[in-house]
Structure 1
Amino acid sequence: MKITLLTVGKTEDAYLKDGIEKYVKRLKHYTKLELIDMPELKNTKALTQEQQKSKEAELIMKKVQPLDFLVLLDEKGAELTSTQFAAYIDKRQIGSTSHIIFVVGGPYGFDASVYQRANDKLSLSRMTFSHQMVRLFFVEQLYRAYTILKGEPYHHS
């Protein structure tokens, strides 16, 4: 199964880039992972929040194919423990999912059209994190999920 993390904007802080790279490298042993950073919208001062979400939705939907399993990383999503997330990934692998796309939206969340297309919503926390940090948290949790599935000693219950 191929996994894509689709985000709006780039990671600029070196310490976050280093951390992301560390886990992306580790994940190569378990799955095919692609990170796609879509460019942030420009000249947004003249746009309402809804217009920004609509424009971001257009960018997101260009990356999604009809058979892709689309998961929004959203504050309204289900909260899972690391073990539950591992089971979630395992279920997708065992099922017929060939490509799962996890999406981090822009600063105002997702447009209604993206919610309609989504297959699922997950929340990394009830807290709010910067979009840059979410990338690191997600790839670490993905790595943790695979080590749980393989029975490796990274995760301690």
Structure 2
Amino acid sequence: MNYTIVAVGKLKERFWKDACAEYVKRLGAYGKVRVVEVPDVDPARVGGIEGSRAREGQGILAAIPARSHVILLAIEGKERSSEDFSHRLDQLALGGQSDVTFVIGGSDGVCDEVRARAAETLSFGPITLPHNLARVVLLEQIYRACKISRGEKYHK
């Protein structure tokens, strides 16, 4: 599988970078992982929130591989257990979909064009997570899904 993570904003603190790097390294045994950081845009510089969503959206859409199945992380998205998430990724792979892109939008959400490009949405629950933490959780859940799919042990 090829996984692309498109995230608005840059990881600044070392601990976020280290956590993400660790899971990207672990995932190397299961597929190819690419993380693309799209610059966040200050709404005050582009005429408001809609302007920043549109500008960030251009970057997000440009980073998505052409034939990729896109899953947008959204608080109103579908909640899945780790086992269900693993099963969903297996379904995509068995259906011939070898490229999956996950999108983590900016702090003000994403534009309608990005929502339209997404084939489905995923939620980690009704809580609000900082984008940096959402990226770590996403990478960890992809890793866990790969372990579950192969029947390998993973700490509980």
TMscore range, shorter length: over 0.9
Corresponding position of 1:4: 4
- Distance apart, 1:155 and its partner CA: 4.9
Asked if 1:151 is matched to 2:154, the reply is no
Corresponding position of 2:70: 70
Asked if 1:60 is matched to 2:60, the reply is yes
Which residue identity lines up with residue 45 of structure 1 in the other structure? A
Distance 2:56 2:39 in 1: 9
Superposed, which structure 2 residues align to 1:38-57 within 5 Å?
38-41=38-41, 43-46=42-45, 47-57=47-57
C-alpha root-mean-square deviation of aligned residues, in Å? Answer: 1.3
SS for the counterpart of 2:74 is strand
Distance 1:20 1:94 in 2: 27
Distance 2:141 2:86 in 1: 9
Say if 2:71 and 2:103, in contact at 8 Å, map to a contact too: yes
Normalised by the size of structure 1, how large is the TM-score?
0.93
Which segments of 5 or more consecutive residues in structure 2 lack a partner in the other structure?
none
Distance 1:87 1:155 in 2: 19
Distance 1:154 1:35 in 2: 24
Which runs of structure 1 show a deviation greater than 3 angstroms over 4 or more consecutive aligned residues?
none
% same residue: 32
Distance 2:67 2:32 in 1: 17
Which segments of 5 or more consecutive residues in structure 1 lack a partner in the other structure?
none
- Distance apart, 1:115 and its partner CA: 1.2
Say if 1:147 and 1:155, in contact at 8 Å, map to a contact too: no
Deviations 1:115-135 (A, max 9, x none): 112111001221111111111
Corresponding position of 1:93: 93
Normalised by the size of structure 2, how large is the TM-score?
0.93
- Distance apart, 1:146 and its partner CA: 0.6
Corresponding position of 2:30: 30
Count of equivalent residues: 155
- Distance apart, 1:44 and its partner CA: 2.8
| Higher mean C-alpha deviation, range 136-145 or range 44-53 | 44-53
- Distance apart, 1:87 and its partner CA: 0.3
Deviations 1:87-140 (A, max 9, x none): 011111111213111000011111111111211100122111111111111111
Say if 2:23 and 2:140, in contact at 8 Å, map to a contact too: yes
Which residue identity lines up with residue 142 of structure 1 in the other structure? I
Distance 2:49 2:40 in 1: 14
